[in-house]
A and B are shown apart, each in its own frame.
Chain A
Amino acid sequence: MSFEWVVTIITNNWPMFLRGAGMTLLISMIGTIVGAIVGLLIGIIHTIPVPERGVKRILLKIVNAILSVYIEFFRGTPMIVQAMVIYYGSAMAFGINMNQLVAALFIVSINTGAYMAEIVRGGIVSVDKGQFESAQAIGMNHFQAMMHIVLPQVVRNILPATGNQFVINIKDTSVLNVIGVTELYFQTKSVAGNNFRYFESFFIACVLYFIMTFTVTCILRYIERRLDGPKNYSMIGQPPVQVETLVSTKGRNDQQ
């Protein structure tokens, strides 16, 4: 390997590398976020208790069945093949030429959604059911209990897995070059095709990929630590709040 070549390639092609890396980051970030939301919704639907009878029961069963098929299908086939099927399939079936970026976002999101659905389900199950019950006991309805008590804990539980999925997406978007998405791998291939220095060009791509994944990992670790709060808590000396009567009810010997 010649170091001069690496420098030359960077000097001549840095805008392409940068645009490729940007595209990779964009697709994987939006794909992870949308996928996580899709997974969250599916996870929530999967944990709705099925009523014993009625139309609702049938409806819920059908929805759950469809969602299971979706999850199994996308987890059971390679993304590179899905990309070809969806991109060329949509052109053939509906005569639409999908924009490559839109196709890319769609494929990554829907893939991530399938993986995240299972992760979210685990995240919900691992929240103790006493949390939901005590929320109900102070008068919260299902929605409030979910929003203020259960889901914040689910999000915390699935954060590491979501970060992991983000890192996987950064790497796996490289397969999208087969449908001509101008992400980092595609750009690198173009650069290398022009200068015939394959090793040096891909070495640069390699470093760029690693910088991206490593940065994402570090940022997520930081966020996790922030969410967990300090290891210790500070005791409050004297609270400024005035203490009023202990309990508002009247004395127990009062006859009504």
Chain B
Amino acid sequence: MEKVIDIQHLSKSFGTHEVLKDIDFSVHKGEVVCVIGSSGSGKSTLLRCVNLLEKPSGGQIIYQGENILDHKHDIHAYRTKLGMVFQQFNLFNNHNVLNNCVVGQVKVLKRSKIEAEKVAMNYLKLVGMDQYVNAKPSHLSGGQKQRVAIARALSMNPDVMLFDEPTSALDPEMVGEVLKVMKELANSGLTMLIVTHEMEFAKEVSDRVVFMDKGVIVEEGKPEQIFNHPTHERTREFLKRTLK
């Protein structure tokens, strides 16, 4: 299968603190990959390095055969190929729901407003938020905000969707509605890289699970293998702590 993102020897330090150490890892087209691991293990940093919100300290990120850390590479064009969903939603507070999904298409992809609204409505409908197009972010519940954030990312027609703990800031009763949308996306064949603490969800939707600890990938494999037959002691300990 074709590799969409191929990460080689990626490292990241904040000052002297080495947060990611020599990460090798790739995502294939159509694959759903979940990244799990304890707090502070570097999962968010990995995701943020992938779309260059953090500048990697070393290594390479190959996107469709090109090293995007090359200086001449257009990082803005690259970022449009990755849809990012944040833990804190980060909807644009000065725009209503529809414009949240439209502004990037018009300003970055240079689509016409009419076309952009059509695309936006399509995805807002998919996440069940098409009735709220006029609402400002401050009017929405957390679950609704996150669904709009997903629609906003999808509206850019990305090749890969990145999710950084999309349900961690939600009240328990709203987690379900967001996970349901994500499951639909996963089943539709979208390429997804998801950092999550929802183990049941990871087990159910992922093609591959990656376990991270202290800045390294300890092991990865099919969900069945990672959850039922982990080979490393650290993985077993983590799962015991989180699954009980």
| Chain A interfacial positions (CB closer than 8 Å to B) | 128, 130-131, 133-141, 144, 148-149, 152-153, 156, 229, 232-237, 239, 241, 243-244, 246-256
Contact = CB atoms under 8 A, between A and B. Distances in A.
B80 interface: yes
Contact of A254 (B96, B109, B189): B189
Q: SS class of chain A's interface: helix, strand, loop or mixed?
A: loop
A139 B94 CA distance: 18
B124 to A, nearest CB: 8
A133 B32 CA distance: 24
B122 A241 contact: yes
A256 B134 contact: no
A131 B189 contact: no
Given A233-B135, A233-B139, A235-B132, A138 B153 contact: yes
22 contacts: A128-B88, A131-B92, A134-B92, A137-B51, A137-B79, A137-B84, A137-B153, A139-B156, A149-B94, A149-B103, A153-B93, A232-B139, A233-B132, A234-B134, A235-B132, A236-B133, A237-B131, A239-B121, A246-B188, A249-B188, A252-B187, A256-B2
Contact of B92 (A135, A156, A254): A135
B9 interface: no
Contacts of B190: 247, 249
Contacts of A251: 30, 188-189
Contacts of A152: 94
Given A138-B108, A139-B104, 10 more contacts: A134-B84, A138-B79, A138-B104, A138-B152, A139-B109, A141-B76, A243-B121, A252-B31, A253-B30, A256-B29
Most central of A131, A135, A141, A233 by chain B CB within 10 Å: A233
Interface of B: 1-2, 29-32, 51, 53, 76-77, 79-80, 82-84, 86, 88, 90-94, 96, 103-104, 107-109, 117-118, 121-122, 125-126, 130-136, 139, 149, 152-154, 156-157, 184-191, 207
B160 to A, nearest CB: 10
B90 A128 contact: yes
B86 A133 contact: yes
Contacts of A239: 121, 125, 130-131, 133
Contacts of B90: 128, 130-131, 133-134
B77 A249 contact: no
B48 to A, nearest CB: 9
Given A130-B86, A138-B80, A256-B29, A244 B122 contact: yes
Contacts of B189: 247, 249-254
Given A128-B90, A249-B189, A256-B2, A148 B107 contact: yes
B136 A233 contact: yes
A57 B2 CA distance: 43
Contacts of B135: 233
Nearest to B106: A148
Nearest to A138: B104
Nearest to A132: B90
Rank and list the top 3 A-B pairs by shortest CB-CB distance, nearest first. Answer: A139-B80, A134-B90, A138-B104
B134 A241 contact: no
Most chain A beta carbons < 10 A, residue from B32, B76, B154, B185: B76
A254 B157 CA distance: 19
B185 A140 contact: no
Contacts of A256: 1-2, 29
A140 B76 CA distance: 6
Contacts of B157: 248
Nearest to B87: A130
A232 B135 CA distance: 8
Contacts of A141: 76
Contacts of A254: 30, 189
Given A134-B84, A137-B53, A247 B185 contact: yes
Nearest to B31: A252
B166 to A, nearest CB: 13
Nearest to B2: A256
Given A149-B94, A153-B94, A247-B189, A229 B136 contact: yes
Tell me which of B2, B77, B134 has the highest count of chain A C-beta atoms within 10 A of its own C-beta: B134
B88 to A, nearest CB: 5
A141 B31 CA distance: 29
A102 to B, nearest CB: 36
A148 B122 contact: no
B69 to A, nearest CB: 16
Contact of B79 (A128, A136, A232, A237): A136
Contacts of B92: 131, 134-135, 149
